A and B are shown apart, each in its own frame.
Chain A
Amino acid sequence: MSTATDARTVPATSQLATFWLDGDLYGVEVEHVQEVLRSQSITRVPLAPPAVAGLINLRGQVVTAIELRERLGRPARPQGTEAVVIVVRLHGEAVSLLVDSIADVVDVDVRDFEAPPDTLDGAARELIRGAYKLSGQLLLALDVNRAVGT
């Protein structure tokens, strides 16, 4: 999936950590991503906004988990499939995103960038900066700051 072996010669590139969510490929800037975890037990928070899946214990630190499917207005994750937790660090604070599965780190070129496709509906549109046209696949760039700001 990697597009840029010659990434260094092209100035306007960045690295996105990508993941799958309801059949779509999304990406967040690599520098935001702190770590990726699997099978975390999540403590639910009654009366919290629906997108707050709960709290997880990250080595003694309590971190809020955001259900990205809910955030993006997608149907709930099917029963029996486990979410993957992406821990992102924003303004010094750790927040985690629940996604379906994790994919590669991709170098993207700004020339492949386009505004969000018109087909995206309202809720998601707010959170998507745009799309990178990869070969055979669209990569949706997630605005992390907005995504966690429930």
Chain B
Amino acid sequence: MEGLDDIVEEFLVESHENLDQLDQDLVALEQDPRSRDRLSSVFRTIHTIKGTSGFLAFNRLEEVAHVGENLLSRLRDGALDLTPARTSALLQMTDTIRSLLAEIEASGGEGSVAVAETVSVLASALEDTPAASAPAPDAAPAEPAVEAPVVAAAEPAKAAEPAVPAPAPVKKPAAKRAPAKRASRAKAAVPAPAPVPAVEQIAAPTPPAAAPAPRAEIPQSEIPQEVAVPSVPAALAPEPGTPEAQPKGRGVADSTIRVDVDLLDNLMLLVGELVLTRNQIVQYVGRQNDQDLIRASQRLNLIASELQESAMKTRMQPIDHIWSKLPRVVRDLGLQLQKNIRLEMEGKDTELDKTLLEAVKDPLTHLVRNSVDHGIEDTAGRIAAGKPAEGVLTLRSRHESGQVVVEVADDGAGIDPVKIGNKAVEKGIITADAMSRMSPQDLLQLIFQPGFSTAAAVTNVSGRGVGMDVVKTNIEGIGGTIEVESVAGRGTCMRLRIPLTLAIVPALTIECAGDRYAIPQISLQELVALDAEKAAAAVEEVGGASVYRLRGELLPLVHLAEVLGLPSDRHDGHVVIAVLRSEGRRFGLVVDRVINTEEIVVKAVSGQLKSIGLYSGATVLGDGAVALILDVQALARRALRAESAERQESRVAASIAVAAQERQRMLLAAIGGGRRVAIPLDTVTRLEQVRSETVERVGSREVVQYRGAILPIVRLDRHLGAFGETDRETLEVIVYADHGRSVAIVVDEILDIVDGEAAVQSDIDDLGLLGSAVIGDRVTELLDVRAAILAADPAFYTTAPPALSSPDAFAFDGAGSPAPLMEV
């Protein structure tokens, strides 16, 4: 059957089903010849078969169905009455169609199943007088190989009465068995030679099987079955050919069954519960010593897993189902836009849950349209860019750690993150300040923001934008994620991560403040555990937010206990970080401890809990306890937004009254000569290291190139009249950014971050200082940040309203008395 393509296979399944119905209908029609409903139903069936077989170029099948249809349409219209002879003719037609279908299934073609006599029988049935003797000779010369069956068939047709009960029981099983045998043979051997033995058998066994039977008994009542006789040869034909072949394989019709999706849903639900119970039992048994019990539970474990997998498979469909219409979309749109685009597909047979497949269909089509429309340049543009004229759009899908990854990639112009950022600022989605701090990758994800997508964005920005937020909402609605990657000039890749199924999700269970929570593994990237010593060194605080350097990249940390407003019960200084990905960016969730991974069944929580915006649901863990499932997307949004809001708040607060500020965190830096300077942490945007040789000069000022901009530098040691080491290879730089401008403050060494609260302050000061304080048992100078920044960039505050910037808080108010930085 491997040779059959999907369309033919579907046709076979459908036709087999319809034919079974047809048999019933025809027999019922005998009792009630005037039932128009049944006649219409029969007519439709044959009409469908005719149409499809014509389309698939099964000409003989079409021929039979066509004549049958003619007969049926006249019967339906009441032009003819349904006589037993006509019923017989129709049943004969059914059987011939069955034989043809069986042959198609076995060999992929119609083989040499004879149809001429059936056609003639049907044609004669069309005549008002049931005189079938005439067509019979017609058929005979036409198809000499089947002469015997023809005669057998013609006889009952002509006589109309001779009924044959004996073959009836034979016919049904034979017809049923036939496809089975053929299937097994088709599987076992090369399909091609199959028709050959089949042909040979037709003539030989037919007369004994069919001919003697009609004469065995002749009851009047069994008219419908009589027609089985002519069919027997065809149906029986393959049997002698494969007598040794046991029916181990199943035919197309027998190997599939239509099941209500609700039933499958229910099955899935039950399997979910079973998996939970399994988890409970396995956990419980793990504490026991009974060997038999342990073995039994291991077996239960295995079977439950297999059952879960099988149940899931019942709902699985290859992604090709939704991909198959995309070539057309791409072609039409390409033609319309006069772009030359080739669509490539990798991983067509990746399977995922039917409901998920449906949910992904529209977003995926949207992404493809977007790529064609905005991603790939027109032919002229491509040639100008030195690319092949033909654009390539690639769809990829694969299974990756329990998820399905679907990518829509083009080799177009790519998206410029700076343009996206500017657009977002213009639209008020982010502030310029925030933009200056975002990485290009983060900027790209802005295209998924609601409000970003407008028609203007499409024309102004080289990229996409229409309804991307809708795409994202849809994907997140099914527990998936979406992110975009782009290299300017090289192309763009949209990546969807979709769970395999909605009902059962692999999850990581963690503990925080004594409670357990589940994190869907789809968001989890890795786990990092730091002992106290390492944590103290590796977890840094920047601008009031803690970050961790994960292989050189800064990972913002979110403390789950803080988010939940609970006291963490981890006091030994160890830090456990779950590195999560949300909307294309990563963050670290600091939890108390990691427990294990578990398959969980997602249960909905009530609306009032959902509206908290932290939990996507709840689940029952192995020990029967309820655990909340953390909504990683919401968590990221909430935590990362709250953090920046906090920072803004602190700035506003600082500008209103420093005295009102309860806690002032300070960055401690050494500037050489044993001097230590404290810099308010909220004036620190970033800590960087810059190589000395990259420092260039503009007039008398030192600058360094930083993120595509020129960053003025102030060396704090010189600014404050100290003498640091000047011949260092790398410079420690504190970057301060505000209103799109940045300056870099060079210090000798970053020492620590402290709470200013504990410090004792004095007003002993000097040029460029606000005063001094005792921090950590040492006298520390408090930097006048504003003065330092002005030293680097005299125009820094002229372009921005100084009242809003925090350094202002530390400005002198005229007479040289420092602002009371740490007054309690």
* Chain A residue contacts of B603, Cβ below 8 A: 61-62
* Chain B residue contacts of A52, Cβ below 8 A: 608-609
Query: What CA separation (Å) do A44 and B625 show in the bound complex?
Result: 11
Q: Determine whether B566 belongs to the interface, using a CB cutoff of 8 Å to chain A.
A: yes
* Chain B residue contacts of A57, Cβ below 8 A: 620, 624-626
* Chain A residue contacts of B798, Cβ below 8 A: none
Q: In the complex the two chains form, is A64's CB within 8 Å of B624's CB?
A: no
Chain B interfacial positions (CB closer than 8 Å to A) = 273, 276, 513, 515, 564-566, 603-606, 608-609, 612, 614-615, 618-620, 624-628
Q: In the complex the two chains form, is B620's CB within 8 Å of A45's CB?
A: no
Q: In the complex the two chains form, is A64's CB within 8 Å of B605's CB?
A: yes
* Chain B residue contacts of A78, Cβ below 8 A: none
Known: A55-B618, A62-B618. A45 touches B628 (CB 8 A): yes
Q: In the complex the two chains form, is B273's CB within 8 Å of A60's CB?
A: yes
Query: What CA separation (Å) do A55 and B612 show in the bound complex?
Result: 14
Q: Residue of A at shortest CB range from B628?
A: A45
Query: What CA separation (Å) do A46 and B628 show in the bound complex?
Result: 10
On chain A, the number of residues with a Cβ less than 8 Å from chain B's Cβ atoms is 20
* Chain B residue contacts of A48, Cβ below 8 A: 608-609, 612
Q: Determine whether A14 belongs to the interface, using a CB cutoff of 8 Å to chain B.
A: no
Query: What CA separation (Å) do A45 and B566 show in the bound complex?
Result: 11
Q: In the complex the two chains form, is B615's CB within 8 Å of A45's CB?
A: yes
Q: Determine whether A49 belongs to the interface, using a CB cutoff of 8 Å to chain B.
A: yes
* Chain A residue contacts of B618, Cβ below 8 A: 43, 55, 62
The distance from the CB of B564 to the nearest CB of chain A, in whole angstroms, is: 4
Q: Which of A58-114 contact B (CB under 8 A)?
A: 60-62, 64, 93, 95
The distance from the CB of A95 to the nearest CB of chain B, in whole angstroms, is: 7
Query: What CA separation (Å) do A65 and B802 show in the bound complex?
Result: 52
Known: A45-B612, A47-B564, A93-B606. A55 touches B628 (CB 8 A): yes
Query: What CA separation (Å) do A56 and B513 show in the bound complex?
Result: 19
* Chain B residue contacts of A64, Cβ below 8 A: 605-606, 608-609
Query: What CA separation (Å) do A41 and B625 show in the bound complex?
Result: 7
Query: What CA separation (Å) do A57 and B624 show in the bound complex?
Result: 7
In this complex, which of A49, A60, A61 has the most chain B Cβ atoms within 10 angstroms of its Cβ? A60
Report which of A41, A43, A61, A95 forms a contact with B628, defined as CB distance below 8 A.
A43
Interface of B is mostly: mixed
Chain A interfacial positions (CB closer than 8 Å to B) = 41, 43-49, 52, 54-57, 60-62, 64, 93, 95, 150
Query: What CA separation (Å) do A43 and B618 show in the bound complex?
Result: 10
28 A-B residue pairings within 8 Å (CB atoms): A43-B515, A43-B627, A44-B515, A45-B609, A45-B612, A45-B628, A46-B513, A46-B515, A46-B564, A46-B614, A47-B564, A47-B612, A48-B609, A48-B612, A52-B608, A55-B605, A55-B609, A55-B626, A56-B626, A57-B626, A60-B273, A60-B276, A61-B603, A62-B603, A62-B626, A64-B605, A64-B606, A150-B608
Report which of B273, B566, B605 forms a contact with A62, defined as CB distance below 8 A.
B605
The distance from the CB of B427 to the nearest CB of chain A, in whole angstroms, is: 31
Query: What CA separation (Å) do A49 and B605 show in the bound complex?
Result: 14
Known: A56-B626, A60-B620, A62-B619. A47 touches B565 (CB 8 A): yes
Query: What CA separation (Å) do A93 and B564 show in the bound complex?
Result: 27
* Chain A residue contacts of B627, Cβ below 8 A: 43
Query: What CA separation (Å) do A57 and B605 show in the bound complex?
Result: 12
The distance from the CB of B408 to the nearest CB of chain A, in whole angstroms, is: 37
* Chain B residue contacts of A47, Cβ below 8 A: 564-565, 612, 614
Query: What CA separation (Å) do A127 and B308 show in the bound complex?
Result: 45
Query: What CA separation (Å) do A108 and B603 show in the bound complex?
Result: 38
* Chain A residue contacts of B513, Cβ below 8 A: 46
Q: In the complex the two chains form, is B625's CB within 8 Å of A95's CB?
A: no
The distance from the CB of A70 to the nearest CB of chain B, in whole angstroms, is: 14
The distance from the CB of A67 to the nearest CB of chain B, in whole angstroms, is: 14
The distance from the CB of A22 to the nearest CB of chain B, in whole angstroms, is: 24
Query: What CA separation (Å) do A54 and B612 show in the bound complex?
Result: 13
Query: What CA separation (Å) do A43 and B609 show in the bound complex?
Result: 13
Q: Residue of A at shortest CB range from B613?
A: A47
* Chain B residue contacts of A45, Cβ below 8 A: 609, 612, 615, 628
A44-B515, A55-B605, A64-B608 given; name 17 further pairs at CB < 8 Å. Answer: A46-B513, A46-B515, A46-B565, A46-B566, A48-B612, A52-B608, A52-B609, A55-B618, A55-B626, A55-B628, A56-B626, A60-B273, A61-B603, A62-B603, A62-B605, A62-B618, A95-B606
Query: What CA separation (Å) do A56 and B618 show in the bound complex?
Result: 10
Query: What CA separation (Å) do A64 and B620 show in the bound complex?
Result: 13
The distance from the CB of A63 to the nearest CB of chain B, in whole angstroms, is: 9
The distance from the CB of A86 to the nearest CB of chain B, in whole angstroms, is: 16
The distance from the CB of B810 to the nearest CB of chain A, in whole angstroms, is: 36
* Chain B residue contacts of A60, Cβ below 8 A: 273, 276, 620
The distance from the CB of A98 to the nearest CB of chain B, in whole angstroms, is: 15
* Chain B residue contacts of A43, Cβ below 8 A: 515, 618, 625-628
* Chain B residue contacts of A44, Cβ below 8 A: 515
The distance from the CB of A83 to the nearest CB of chain B, in whole angstroms, is: 16
Q: Residue of B at shortest CB range from A49?
A: B608
